[in-house]
Each structure stands twice: as C-alpha cells, then as structure tokens.
C-alpha cells in the first residue's frame, strides 16, 4: 500500500515506474546502478524527485509502433 502523505514534487516507486514505462524491478535496478536516487520516504516505500524522473524519461529512447 502506498503512502497517502507524499511530499509535493515527489513520486512513489509505482508512479516512477509508470512514468518511465518500466517495472518496479526496473526502478530498483536504476537505483542500484546509480542512475536514480531516492529523495525521501522509507526503505520499503521510497520517493523519487519529479525532476530526476523527468530527466531520466527525457533520456530514454522512444519506441515507435511497428
């Protein structure tokens, strides 16, 4: 269950995964590789800064429908 009290300017892990079009495990891998840093929350329910997620989303290649 996600926290109801998230600070403005932050996303939950679920919201981050949705924004990036990846799974929760993909979010964990980005953190492990140092490409995304936690900016709050708890170890079990981390938050990520909207600016960091947006920067990652801008770097990701777009997939075109074939």
Whole-structure pTM over 0.75, yes or no?
yes
pLDDT for residue 65 is more than 70: no
Alpha helices in 1-66 (DSSP H): 13-20, 24-32, 50-59
pLDDT at 1: 47
pLDDT at 64: 57
Of the candidates 63, 25, 1, the residue with the CA atom closest to the CA atom of residue 16: 25
Residue pLDDT, tens place only, 4-50: 688 899 999 999 999 999 999 999 999 999 999 999 999 999 999 99
Predicted confidence band of residue 63 (pLDDT cuts 50, 70, 90): low
């Amino acid at each position: 269950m996600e926290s109801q009290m998230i600070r403005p300017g932050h996303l939950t892990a679920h919201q981050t995964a949705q924004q990036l079009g990846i799974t929760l495990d993909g979010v964990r891998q980005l953190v492990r590789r140092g490409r995304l840093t936690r900016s709050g929350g708890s170890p079990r329910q981390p938050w990520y800064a909207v600016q960091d997620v947006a920067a990652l989303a801008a770097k990701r290649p777009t997939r075109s429908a074939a």
